[in-house]
């Protein structure tokens, strides 16, 4: 059993890094095509260098007639979210939400609870002030392109509870308040009593394969985007966050072990003015935070606990003037003798290899890129700290000794 588990953990680590590498490859390819086409915001070129937008806007078709192409443009861990792909178009014509148990046809709630794939669009600009949480069923796309759609505005907002394959695109979610202590319909055949909600903008509870893209979120009672209770396979991209305290919570408790499998991509977002903390706040899982723009914060930008893996790449940080909010606190590379795990061993080997000590350890040169690629975020982090080569070699032997004599200390 321990051997099988170790192989599973190794495979999962490899998949996580392949997903991160694939995202970087898409960005590089999109930027290259932008340069070749003369795009980049000037001239007549369509290409922008953003792989998501280039995918659905520059496909040679009118996106208004080919809306569902968006489902093929996902990146990161939420890339497999199908949304309502393959289903019919549902046009929301009524912004009201008078009865959460028996929603009227033409309302967003009536569309969101249906069974089967559904691609939901809006007939015109509208503000939807929900009387209760909007319980979105599986295989739905909420597509606000072509209209200016506001959800919340002093009412309840969006909940994804034990559902999968949901895409939320181009809507404004703001000023969300707690709701509940009422019956709410979640499908055509079921409604039930809802206790008091937290007032999140978008709440994921045991949800998977979810993609939030090109949304604007601000000023909600609790989090703007919270993912808890085993939610995974999530991407939040191209979105704007502002004027809020606790922005994004990924994992609600250090003690909840299933969140160790959580995998989230946070890419191409702008964290704007008036934000305080949790951009995001990570627990246990694996979080790829890439190419985001952080323009000031009051407490901290990215935080974590319970041994999350945070792979931060290409982000821009404009720190606040407060020196207490600039400081990097509790930074560690897990390179300590009291902790040894498979990642640490691989990272140590990769670092040694990168420093040119591979021949001494008997590694074939052809294998070196695999090791360096596989645990690059650890290896390059160590190098950036200026860890001397003898210390890297020592780490290898410390790990080997612990693997041999203290297996109970191994951590995965």
- The residues that are catalytic are 278
Write the DSSP string, 58-80.
Answer: SSSS-TTT-GGGGGG---GGGTT
How far is residue 143's CA from residue 216's CA, in Å, rounded to a whole number?
13
How far is residue 336's CA from residue 398's CA, in Å, rounded to a whole number?
9
Dmax of the chain from CA atoms? Answer: 73
Report which secondary-structure segment, H or E, holds 225.
strand 225-228
Neighbours of 326 (CB within 10 A): 12
Block residue for tokens 């979210």: 81
Block residue for tokens 């890297």: 392
Q: Which of 11, 4, 8, 13 is nearest to 263 (CA)?
A: 13
Q: Which of 321, 336, 325, 334 is nearest to 302 (CA)?
A: 325
Block residue for tokens 């590089």: 28
Q: Report which DSSP code applies to 92.
A: E
Q: Which of 161, 142, 132, 275 is nearest to 228 (CA)?
A: 161
How far is residue 343's CA from residue 16's CA, in Å, rounded to a whole number?
13
- Pinpoint the alpha helices (H) of 226-375: 323-326, 342-354, 358-361, 368-374
Torsion of CA 16, 19, 20, 22, to 10 degrees: 160
Give, to the nearest 10 degrees, the angle between helix 376-384 and helix 342-354. 60
Q: Report which DSSP code applies to 260.
A: G
At 261 the three-state DSSP class reads helix
* ∠ Cα 111 113 116 (to 5°): 85
How far is residue 117's CA from residue 138's CA, in Å, rounded to a whole number?
8
Neighbours of 61 (CB within 10 A): 11
Can you say how many angstroms the Cα of residue 280 is from the centroid of all Cα atoms in its chain?
9
């Amino acid at each position: 059993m321990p051997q099988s588990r170790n192989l599973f953990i190794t495979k999962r680590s490899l998949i996580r890094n392949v997903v991160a590498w694939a995202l970087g490859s898409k960005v590089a390819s999109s930027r290259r095509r932008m340069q070749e086409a003369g795009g980049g915001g000037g001239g007549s070129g369509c290409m922008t260098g953003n792989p998501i937008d280039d995918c659905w806007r520059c496909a040679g078709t009118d996106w208004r007639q080919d809306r569902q192409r968006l489902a093929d443009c996902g990146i990161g861990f939420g890339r497999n979210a199908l949304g309502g792909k393959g289903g019919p178009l549902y046009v929301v014509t009524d912004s009201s939400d008078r009865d959460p148990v028996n929603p009227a046809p033409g309302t967003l709630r009536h569309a969101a609870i249906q069974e089967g794939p559904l691609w939901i669009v809006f007939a015109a600009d509208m503000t939807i002030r929900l009387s209760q949480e909007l319980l979105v069923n599986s295989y739905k796309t909420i597509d606000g392109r072509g209209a200016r759609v506001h959800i919340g505005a002093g009412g309840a907002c969006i909940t994804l509870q034990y559902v999968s394959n949901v895409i939320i695109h181009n809507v404004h979610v703001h000023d969300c308040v707690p709701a509940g202590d009422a019956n709410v319909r979640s499908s055509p055949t079921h409604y039930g009593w809802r206790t008091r909600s937290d007032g999140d903008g978008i709440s994921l509870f045991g949800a998977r394969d979810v993609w939030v893209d090109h949304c604007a979120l601000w000023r909600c009672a609790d989090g703007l985007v919270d993912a808890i209770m085993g939610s995974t396979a999530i991407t939040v991209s191209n979105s704007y966050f502002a004027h809020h305290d606790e922005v994004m919570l990924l994992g609600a408790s250090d003690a909840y072990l299933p969140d160790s499998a959580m995998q989230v991509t946070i890419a191409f977002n702008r964290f704007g003015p008036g934000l305080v903390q949790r951009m995001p706040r990570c627990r246990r899982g694996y979080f790829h935070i890439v190419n985001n723009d952080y323009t000031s914060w009051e407490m901290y930008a990215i935080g974590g606990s319970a041994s999350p893996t945070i792979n931060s790449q290409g982000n821009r940080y404009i720190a606040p003037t407060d020196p207490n909010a600039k400081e990097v606190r509790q930074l560690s590379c897990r390179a300590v003798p009291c902790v040894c795990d498979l990642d640490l061993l691989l990272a140590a080997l990769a670092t040694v290899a990168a420093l040119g000590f591979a021949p001494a350890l008997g590694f074939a040169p052809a294998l070196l890129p695999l090791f360096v690629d596989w645990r690059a975020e650890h290896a390059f982090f160590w190098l950036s700290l200026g860890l001397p080569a003898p210390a890297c070699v020592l780490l290898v032997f410390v790990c080997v000794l612990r693997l041999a004599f203290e297996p109970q200390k191994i951590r995965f």
